[in-house]
Amino acid sequence: MAKSKVLVVGGTGYIGKRIVKASLAQGHITYVLQRREMGLDIDKIQMLLSFKKQGARLIQGSFSDHQSLVDAVKQVDVVICTMSGVHFRSHNILLQLKLVDAIKEAGNIKRFIPSEFGTDPSRMGHALEPGRVTFDEKMRVRRAIEDAKIPFTYVTANCFAGYFAANLSQMETLLPPRDKVTIYGDGNVKVVYMDEDDIASYTIKTIDDPRTLNKTLNIRPPENILSQRELVEKWEKLIGKELQKISLSQEDFLASMKGLDFASQGKRVKKLQSSIQM
């Protein structure tokens, strides 16, 4: 069976660039949306050119030009959107509603994978604001997809290793500590840590698999399910040293957000809720 042609929207982003790489590696004809809104962002332009050298095809389109999105969608079988939904980077989840409209009008797409990849929003009804904003918006996109009867796959993978593993799941750093570590709550709640390249590879594998049609794929290999304390223990073994452990209760954590701007609050709450969602 011929492999599906893929359009990646948000291909220069954190997960998007990995999706492009995985799609090419698995032999799919891969298009990347080149948005006019990039303007003078030379890093993104150079990344797009590097994709082109690797065999990807660039196709112009804009969320302010509905017909350009329809024209782009008509050239492929599968659309994968990887637009950011975190407030401390960029927050564009609801722009996908325009993509949903374009896919509905084009009428040819056999699979749409919206921007999910992290925690399953359908399980986050208990989430606190402002962290729940992203979850609510993702659910709004899901409803639009299903109302439009667009074939879909939702991919959830919980905690990105780049943000949650190397820093031992601490806030405000992406690097591991050498002396002390903050433990949230009792540190014994299990969470799923996923390598971002693995997320991309599994995502691409779903697009021609009939078992994932109109389903949610939860990526959670057993060996990747660890508590924060277990993660800390692994690091301690690697460095041959026991870290000083500082406990932070949920109440103290929430109190520490007072006075922070919306983006910083969202970052903290989403991180806490991701760590307790299992």
> So which residues are the catalytic ones?
138
Q: Nearest Cα to 275, choosing from 238, 246, 250?
A: 250
Q: Tell me the β-bridge partners of 267.
A: none
Helix or strand run (H / E) with residue 52:
helix 42-53
Q: Nearest Cα to 158, choosing from 220, 207, 204, 202?
A: 220
CA-to-CA dists, residue 111 to 151, 212, 227, 241, angstroms: 5, 10, 34, 49
Helix or strand run (H / E) with residue 36:
none
Give counts: helices (H), strands (E), the chain: 10, 12
Please, which residues have CB within 8 angstroms of residue 232's CB and are 6 or more apart in sequence?
Answer: 168, 181, 183, 187, 243, 245
CA-to-CA dists, residue 137 to 115, 133, 134, angstroms: 11, 6, 5
